[in-house]
Amino acid sequence: MSNLLQLKNISAGYEGKTVLREVNLNVNPNDFVGIIGPNGGGKTTLLKVLLELIEPYQGSVVKKDGLRIGYLPQINTIDKKFPISVKEVILSGRHANNWKLGSNKKNAQKIDELLQFVGMNQYKDTAIGDLSGGQMQRIFLCRALISNPHLLILDEPNTYVDKTFEENLYNLLSELNKDMAILLVSHDVGTISSMVKTIACVNGGLHYHESNKITNEVLKSYNCPIEIISHGTVPHRVLKTHKHE
Amino acid sequence: MNNFIELISFNFFQNALWAALLTSLMAGIVGTYIVARRNVFISGGITHASFGGMGIAYFLGLSPILGATVFAIGSALGIEWTSKKAGLREDSAIAIIWSLGMAIGIIFVFLTPGYTPNLMSFLFGDILTVKMIDLFLLAILSCIIILLTVIFYHPILFTAFDSDYAQTVGYKSTLIRYIISIIIALSIVLAIKIMGIILVLSLFTIPPSTANLFSKNFKSIIYISVVISLTGSISGLILAYIFDLPSGATIIFTLTGMYALLRILKYVFEKR
């Protein structure tokens, strides 16, 4: 099984300040990696390197030929007053090569399918700013999926999603994971461990953990300053968050 | 009425009408982009910086438009570049370029021997003194803008909305943004002839803001902006003639008046 994507000895940061140090990461097909870490630990920097939005100071990003990546950004980076419709937002996820050549009919059909998939058919022509945070997030998920990506990257997807859709989202993700690798960034350790197959903690460096079982001991040994809130003695598997808010 | 027919038969007034049509097209499209991307302050910086180029051109005896173009493009690219690379905050960079341009302009105008009669028209503009060459330049730029917008509508829209995402799916975001910066700079320079440095920004911001009351769709906002801009400039022009007022300032009054009126109408109808 060949790698989809490989980070080799990456160091990266902003304005000369190194945030990530000598990070190595392999992503294989059908992986489901949870990326956890404290704020400022370099999670977003790591994503920007993966997406080639910033040049690393050192090291290299090796991608499989023709690798397509879909990406769900943190919603607060989006201008909610921008005059653009749901349909257009989803269409913006098509690869640039397809913007004129791809048949409109095929695109329209694909958009309908995706809206169906997230249960938002009736919002096709709605302006993006008229949606709630959770709805917006689903639309951005559609944008990430329209290119049929090999790798789906989600940055804090549970920040704005309404609790009713949260469960739904996780079902969608495990469904999607049959066809694509998923990298999920979250500060919410509880949620992440119940879904993902492996865990990576980013705090300057990156520590890879070959299972989804995180314990305080594991985190301590990786020097990952994240607290696990748990019931009873240290659990082998972290409990899900409560259903009510 | 006779008065009016006489007015239309004047060559300078016909030129003014053409100028109003062409700038409305240009400012409707470019302004929609500026407002959607929240680039109003950047555009203000570009506008005022171009005064530096005018001052130098005056001093050297060159065409002020040429000087303004060089400074406008330079500052547009400079702002786009500094905000990405230099680690300087974008709004601070804009303020520096804004005032530096004005300062250079004032110094060189001061150093220029003799009286500079056209200076007032560059600060406040005058649509009634538009010449054939101005119309020609406006027509060419409007055609280029319309063509680019029609052909590259989606890349422009997607990059404006989410530059990073557009880049990850293969759009040349940075290139597109630089080209649009240059187009904005050129549009501003040509519109300065009509509205002047101090007033020109209103032509790019009031019509799209008015259109935004009725639509949240980029394309519709462009269409509505062009119509509003055209209606506002022509009625402003006529009012300026009737009451013998400066044309640029009167056009802004009509545009703002339309905004206020439509906003109130919208409020009343939505209440019902």
Instruction: Please state the ipTM of this predicted complex.
Output: 0.87
Which of the four pLDDT bands, split at 50, 70 and 90, describes residue B201? very high
Cα B257 to Cα B232: distance, rounded to the nearest angstrom: 9
Mean pLDDT of chain A: 79
pLDDT of residue A96: 82
Nearest residue to A222 via CA among A71, A53, A40, A35: A35
Which of the four pLDDT bands, split at 50, 70 and 90, describes residue B11? confident
Cβ neighbours for B23, distance < 8 A, ≥ 6 positions apart: B138, B190, B191, B194, B203, B229, B233
Interface test with A, best of B32, B159, B162 (most A CBs within 10 A): B162
pLDDT at B38 exceeding the cut of 60: yes
pLDDT of residue A164: 67
SS3 B84: helix
Nearest residue to A187 via CA among A234, A213, A146, A154: A154
Cα A116 to Cα A131: distance, rounded to the nearest angstrom: 16
| Cβ contact B87–A15 (<8 Å) | yes
pLDDT at A20 exceeding the cut of 80: yes
pLDDT at A241 exceeding the cut of 70: no
Residue ranges per structural domain of chain B: 2-271
Instruction: Give residue-wise pLDDT tens across range B55-81.
Output: 999 899 898 889 999 999 999 988 888
Which of the four pLDDT bands, split at 50, 70 and 90, describes residue A236? very low
pLDDT of residue B33: 96
Please give the average per-residue pLDDT across A73-94, as a whole number. Answer: 90
pLDDT of residue A245: 36
pLDDT of residue A219: 59
Is the distance from CB of A141 to CB of A75 less than 8 angstroms?
no
| B2-271 under CATH 1.10.3470.10, yes or no | yes
Give the dihedral sign, CA B208/B50/B25/A78: negative
Residues on chain A bordering chain B, Cβ-to-Cβ distance under 8 angstroms: 15, 51-53, 69, 71, 73, 77-79, 82-85, 88-89, 91-97, 99-100, 127, 129-130, 143, 147
Which of the four pLDDT bands, split at 50, 70 and 90, describes residue A242? very low
Could you say which DSSP state residue A85 is in? B
At B146, which helix (H) or strand (E)?
A: helix B132-151
| Cβ contact A92–B212 (<8 Å) | no
Alpha helix ranges (H) inside A82-224: 86-91, 98-101, 104-117, 133-145, 163-176, 189-195, 216-221
pLDDT at A238 exceeding the cut of 50: no
| Cβ contact A83–B36 (<8 Å) | yes
Give the A:B interface size as CB pairs under 8 Å.
73
pLDDT at A99 exceeding the cut of 70: no
Residue ranges per structural domain of chain A: 1-67+188-245
Q: Which of B165, B167, B221 sits opposite A73 (nearest CB)?
A: B165
| Cβ contact A147–B169 (<8 Å) | yes
Instruction: Give residue-wise pLDDT tens across range B212-271.
Output: 999 999 999 999 999 999 999 999 999 998 899 988 899 999 999 999 999 999 999 888
Pick the CATH number of A1-67+188-245 from 3.40.50, 3.30.1490, 3.30.70, 1.10.8: 3.40.50
| A31 vs B6, higher pLDDT | A31
| A225 vs B199, higher pLDDT | B199
| CB contacts, 8 Å: B158 with chain A | 88, 92
pLDDT of residue A218: 58
Residue of A nearest to B35 (CA): A82
